[in-house]
Amino acid sequence: MVSRTLVQMIEDSGERITDRFIRQLRADARLVQFHTLPESELRDRARDVLKNLGHWLVESHEGEIAHRYEALGRRRFEELIPLYEVVRALHTLRETIQAFVREQGIGQTHMQLHAEEQFEHLMGLFFDGAVYHTVHGYETALRQAART
């Protein structure tokens, strides 16, 4: 079971995590095209993940995740954002969340360490799926564009 404490901490600190994520995106020289996206869109995307992360980690919502992230992939293709930048941004969000959790120093006992490890494992599975579906949506849009 995912630690409700960790999920609640992330949800409660959503704005701090989102601010850090946006600063990291804006500072990353590898994300040239991503820098053209409005901050409001980046903020909305991060908030959506942070708000739903506990929900997505506790229960399997593959269909919902597939729908959201395939749509994201198609949208980023239409915006001419290179796929490698889209994947890098997703990795940055994952790293930002993980760094925040580690900085809170809650892994003091064996049970807390176990909960933190389990959380990171489930979060890794979630982001792996998000990347897969984003790439799928992007490539689907790419193939459709090539046919026209």
User: By C-alpha distance, which of 5, 41, 3, 8 is closest to 22?
Assistant: 41
User: What single-letter DSSP state applies at residue 57?
Assistant: H
- The class (CATH top level) of 4-147 is mainly alpha
Grade residue 101 by pLDDT with cuts at 50, 70 and 90: confident
Question: Which alpha helices (DSSP H) does the chain contain, by range?
Answer: 4-12, 14-27, 39-58, 62-78, 83-103, 110-147
Model's pTM, two decimal places? 0.90
| Core vs surface per residue 13-35: b (16+ CB within 10 A) or e | beeebbebbbebbeeeeebeebe
Per-residue pLDDT, 2: 55
Q: Domain spans of the chain?
A: 4-147
Q: Please name the amino acid found at residue 67.
A: H
pLDDT tens, 31-77?
999 999 999 999 999 999 998 888 887 776 788 999 999 999 999 99
